[in-house]
Chain A
Amino acid sequence: MVRFVRLLEREPLREVRNVHPAYCSVLVKFDALRWTHAELEAALRERLARLGSVPLPAARVVEIPACYEDVYAPDMAEICARRGWPAERVMALHTAASYQVYFLGFVPGFAYLGELPEELAEARLATPRRQVPAGSVAIAGRQTAVYPFATPGGWRLIGRTPMRMFRAGDGGSSVLAIGDRVRFRAISAAEFVELEKTWR
């Protein structure tokens, strides 16, 4: 998947307007007046056959500071209560794991990270929140993520980062990119406030 996206970036197809990678699929948006589906499929298959020769860069490791204290973790109490755990245990499990960025989607800079330790697997909220605070660290199923913007969201919130996950300037920059490795580092509420000043 990562190789395929890199190949499409390196050798762009004319009149292909956008590429949306996901877990096990890539959506290719093209000008329907320049390509038929069959022609484009043939061009994509030709590239798929060459994936073996596409080098992958060494995965970057990105550390995301996150505060797991109550004020930033509205779903922590419920998650702990269900398991009879203290919040420290959820925090320890969440920060101990190293995650892979599978892809970015939903909104700018939103990275789908996995795999979340099985002990932390949680169903989505039955009714999504109308607005999740920007920077919220969330879990759902075997995935975790940071909400880059205040958006509606159905994942459960266990912390928050002061990091700005996406900046629009200069062609856009996202803290995370497909293929990166991610670790979360626990910070106190005081550190959160300090870091937020420098990053916002």
Chain B
Amino acid sequence: MAVIRVIEPGMFTTVQDLGREGYGAMGVSPSGAADALSLRIGNRLAGNGEGAAGLEMTLVGGAFEFSEPGTIALTGADFAPSLDGVAVEMWRSCEVRAGQTLRMGGTRDGARGYLCVRGGIAVAEVMGSASTHVLSGMGGFAGRSLRRGDVLQVGTQNRANRLASGQAGAQQPCARSSPGKAAPLQGHGPRILSTAGRKLVRARKKLRVTVGPQSDWFGPAAPRRFYGNAYRVTEESNRMGLRLVGPVVEKLPRGEMISEGVALGAIQVPESGMPIILFVEQQTTGGYPTMANVISADFHSLGQLRPRHEITFQVVNWEMARGLLREQEELLASDDALFG
């Protein structure tokens, strides 16, 4: 069976898929890829169903040796990947030969990169998902981030996900110097993400939000503060939440809130007045008022935020949020649009 040997794990690399939904009543948040859009596209490029498990790297990538020939794709932030010393292009399918080592450095702009391999990373599914839930040590590879010397199995078939129609390219070099033209989806030639696809995955710094359920808990000056200023992502940010600093979002003196369920992307404001965006490994319930909620179409951008990034918020209504999500999903649903 094909394996991937971890030569260097990188700063924080975990096995992720699209997460385990449906266990909220047990206090379990879905986890899953921080930039799910990049993972989904990476899987499609590698010839997998979009929910196959891949590797999520954070800020600094790792080095991985492949035991067998295979098809891979690198998406998300650019970690300057190279295969046996030759630079590899991102956002396209790429063939690796047995014994080759893929090396990555740090990323300058985004935060997370994805390595998808044809067949997916084969780990035991826990509660219906291969994703690592770091805090509880659940799922993924031994419930933790990768370490040097770990050996990952590559799936022969995606068990949970049917392979996408069309073959990812065979026997094509991966070098950056050969960008290649639009590739045929069937037969030979690499799969390459289209211009429209690249536009779709670009991480936004102006996040669109809908008004939160407790927006009336804040003072009259709060909206102007919150929507009119930039907030900086702090070092104390992780897969559970993104902690921000910026102008204080002032609350009305209404006492303590009764804890309730909180959604992915909820922007909570604790006593300090400094917002926290709940992220993929979020707490499932919370007791701080929620000022706003990042829209689904912008979740992927949260996965590319890194400490010191500055972000702003723009309020939209539900219909606009739904329209933006529909636009995103329509593009993802079409091989022609995504790879054309």
Contacts and interface: CB of A to CB of B under 8 A. Distances in A.
Contact of B26 (A22, A37, A104): A104
B21 interface: yes
B27 A27 contact: no
A94 B315 CA distance: 47
A183 to B, nearest CB: 21
A168 B24 contact: no
B235 interface: no
Contact of A20 (B138, B139, B143, B284): B284
A193 interface: no
Contacts of A21: 24-25, 261
Nearest to B271: A126
Interface size, A (range)? 35 or more
B21 A17 contact: yes
B126 A27 contact: no
Interface stretch (A48-56, A58-66, A107-115): A107-115
Contact of A108 (B28, B325, B329): B28
A19 interface: yes
Interface in A1-55: 5, 17-27, 29, 32-33, 36-37
B188 interface: no
A27 B27 CA distance: 12
A22 B285 contact: yes
Contacts, number: 113
B325 A109 contact: no
B24 A27 contact: yes
Contact of A22 (B22, B30, B260): B260
A57 interface: no
Interface stretch (A69-77, A80-88, A171-179, A184-192): A171-179
Given A24-B258, A32-B322, A168 B138 contact: yes
A20 B285 contact: yes
B25 A104 contact: yes
B326 A172 contact: no
A17 B128 CA distance: 13
A101 to B, nearest CB: 11
Nearest to B23: A172
Q: Which of B127, B261, B296, B321 has the most CB of A within 10 A?
A: B261
Contacts of B136: 107-108, 148-149, 166, 168
A103 B258 CA distance: 13
B244 interface: no
Contacts of A104: 25-27, 284
A110 B318 contact: no
A106 interface: yes
Contacts of A22: 258-261, 285
Contact of B22 (A17, A32, A174): A17
Contacts of A172: 23, 26, 28, 126-127
A17 B28 CA distance: 13
A20 B127 contact: no
B138 A23 contact: no
Interface of A: 5, 17-27, 29, 32-33, 36-37, 103-112, 148-149, 151, 166, 168-169, 171-172, 174, 178
Q: Which 3 A-B pairs have the closest CB atoms?
A: A27-B261, A20-B261, A105-B285
Interface of B: 21-28, 30, 126-128, 133, 135-139, 143, 258-263, 283-285, 296, 318, 321-322, 325-326, 329
25 contacts: A5-B25, A18-B24, A19-B24, A20-B24, A20-B285, A22-B259, A23-B258, A25-B260, A29-B24, A104-B25, A104-B284, A105-B285, A107-B136, A108-B23, A108-B26, A108-B133, A108-B136, A109-B26, A148-B136, A149-B135, A149-B136, A168-B137, A172-B26, A172-B28, A174-B27
